């Protein structure tokens, strides 16, 4: 039976803002009230990843405790899981005919945490920080990466990323492989799609890289060659420039790049946008999401702020 509940997804700033605007007792009682009203308050591994990285360990523990008492027992899938399911089941028809919740080991742990406060995450904070620092470095320098700017010459990691993205994009364009995108600067938008394929499937910068590892193992592609990996993606799934999860992320990044408002959190913000097709609301406290709502019509009914939505009513 199809799940007909109303799904509200809280990205990190939305969750943090909500904690500041309602008293804690009301906050803890919200989940039960909303489930009676057939509303699911959903969280993703990306939101949990960000709150676990809060610099103050006591505050981080408080945020995790709050999350396990607020959100639904079902944890959304990681971005990489969502993409692979889209490729395996929805491509090329763009239909949501697949599960949106995670199959990773964290699934059962999270479910138990939502009913037992004595259960906690055990994780390597330094390892998470290292991966996050790579993502933030890409975020801060995204315009320079897209332009393959000389300003990257002192950072071999970013320079190599820029080279792969731009060389591969030029090949796609020269082969007249790219579709027309009337509402966008095609160079920027399509380079961003290539960028997110590279980030999630070549660099494997997701909460759990084993998902991408399994994907490549099944393809038998040489994973030592990022160009061949990208070539596999766009030869096998050519419509990824027109629709699907990568485009959801790319549109978010595109508008921030065009507005000149890129920051260290941009790529993670784009990860949150991958959930847009699967939920009724994305609840946020972040300016980047508010900007997207104003610019892109299809998100006007999806994105809302804690100031406007009163989930305790």
Q: Which two tokens stand for residue 156?
A: 């071999």
Q: Does domain 6-126+278-305 have CATH number 2.40.10?
A: no
154: left (phi over 0), alpha (psi -120 to 50) or beta: alpha
Q: Which residue has the tokens 């709502």?
A: 293
Please check the confidence at residue 108 and state whether its pLDDT lies above 80: yes
pLDDT for the residue numbered 35: 80
Residue range 284-304: average pLDDT? 88
CA dihedral over 277, 281, 286, 290, signed as positive or negative: positive
Other beta carbons within 10 angstroms of residue 97's beta carbon come to 9
227: left (phi over 0), alpha (psi -120 to 50) or beta: alpha
pLDDT tens digits, one per residue of 114-127: 999 999 988 888 88
pLDDT for the residue numbered 55: 86
pLDDT for the residue numbered 1: 45
pLDDT for the residue numbered 190: 94
pLDDT for the residue numbered 229: 92
pLDDT for the residue numbered 2: 64
Residue range 128-132: average pLDDT? 90
Please check the confidence at residue 312 and state whether its pLDDT lies above 50: no
Residue range 126-135: average pLDDT? 91
Q: Give the whole-angstrom CA distance, residue 270 versus residue 123.
A: 24
pLDDT range class, residue 178, cuts 50, 70, 90: confident
CA dihedral over 17, 20, 24, 30, signed as positive or negative: negative
Mean per-residue pLDDT over the chain, rounded: 90
Other beta carbons within 10 angstroms of residue 210's beta carbon come to 13
pLDDT tens digits, one per residue of 204-252: 999 999 999 999 999 989 888 888 899 999 999 999 999 999 999 999 9
Cross-strand bridge partners of residue 39: 6
Residue range 283-304: average pLDDT? 88
Across 75-79, 124-128, 285-289, 302-306, the highest mean pLDDT is recorded for 75-79
pLDDT for the residue numbered 198: 96
pLDDT for the residue numbered 310: 56
Q: List CB contacts of 4: < 8 A, sequence separation 6 or more.
A: 38
Between 144 and 122, name the one with better pLDDT: 144
Other beta carbons within 10 angstroms of residue 17's beta carbon come to 17
pLDDT for the residue numbered 311: 52
Integer CA distances (angstroms), 242 to 184, 192, 273, 283, in order: 12, 13, 16, 26
Please check the confidence at residue 308 and state whether its pLDDT lies above 70: no
Residue range 168-188: average pLDDT? 86
Strands 303-305 and 281-284, sheet pairing? parallel
99 near 125, Cβ under 8 Å? no
CA angle 17, 21, 25 (to 5 degrees): 110
Q: Which of 103, 10, 23, 83 is nearest to 51 (CA)?
A: 10
Domain ranges in the chain are: 6-126+278-305, 127-266
Q: Kindly give the interhelix angle for 24-36 and 12-21, rounded to the nearest 10 degrees.
A: 120
Q: Which of 192, 240, 232, 189 is nearest to 212 (CA)?
A: 232
pLDDT for the residue numbered 87: 97
Q: List CB contacts of 138: < 8 A, sequence separation 6 or more.
A: 145, 158, 161, 199, 267
Q: Percentage of the chain with pLDDT > 90?
A: 66
Q: List CB contacts of 301: < 8 A, sequence separation 6 or more.
A: none
Residue range 25-35: average pLDDT? 77
Q: Give the whole-angstrom CA distance, residue 125 versus residue 53.
A: 7
pLDDT tens digits, one per residue of 157-176: 999 999 999 999 998 888 88
Q: List CB contacts of 167: < 8 A, sequence separation 6 or more.
A: 227
Please check the confidence at residue 39 and state whether its pLDDT lies above 70: yes
pLDDT range class, residue 307, cuts 50, 70, 90: low
């Amino acid at each position: 039976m199809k799940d007909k509940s109303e799904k509200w997804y809280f990205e990190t700033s939305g969750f943090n803002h909500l904690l500041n605007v309602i008293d804690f007792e009301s906050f803890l009682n919200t989940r039960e009230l909303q489930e009676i009203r057939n509303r699911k308050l959903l969280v993703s591994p990306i939101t949990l990843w960000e709150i676990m990285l809060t610099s103050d360990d006591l505050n981080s523990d408080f945020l995790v405790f709050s999350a396990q008492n607020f959100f639904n027992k079902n944890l959304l899938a990681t971005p990489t899981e969502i993409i692979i399911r889209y490729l395996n089941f929805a491509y090329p028809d763009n239909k949501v005919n697949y599960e949106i919740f995670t199959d990773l080991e964290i699934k059962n742990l999270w479910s138990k945490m939502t009913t037992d406060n004595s259960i906690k995450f055990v994780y390597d904070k330094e390892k998470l920080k290292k991966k996050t620092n790579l993502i933030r470095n890409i975020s801060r320098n995204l315009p320079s990466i897209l332009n393959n700017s000389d300003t990257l010459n002192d950072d071999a990691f970013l320079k190599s990323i820029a080279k792969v993205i731009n060389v591969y994009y030029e090949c796609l364009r020269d082969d007249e492989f790219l579709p027309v995108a009337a509402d966008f600067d095609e160079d920027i938008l399509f380079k961003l799609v290539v960028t997110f394929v590279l980030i999630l499937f070549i660099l494997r910068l997701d909460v759990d890289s084993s998902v991408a590892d399994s994907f490549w193992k099944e393809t038998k592609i040489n994973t030592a060659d990022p160009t061949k990996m990208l070539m596999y993606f766009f030869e096998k799934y050519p419509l990824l420039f027109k629709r699907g999860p990568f485009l959801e992320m790319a549109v978010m990044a595109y508008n921030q790049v065009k507005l000149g408002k890129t920051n260290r959190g941009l790529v993670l913000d784009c990860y949150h946008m991958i959930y847009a097709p699967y939920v009724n609301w994305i609840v946020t406290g972040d300016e980047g999401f508010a900007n997207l709502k104003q610019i892109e019509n299809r998100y006007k009914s999806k994105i809302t702020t804690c100031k406007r939505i009163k989930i305790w009513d």
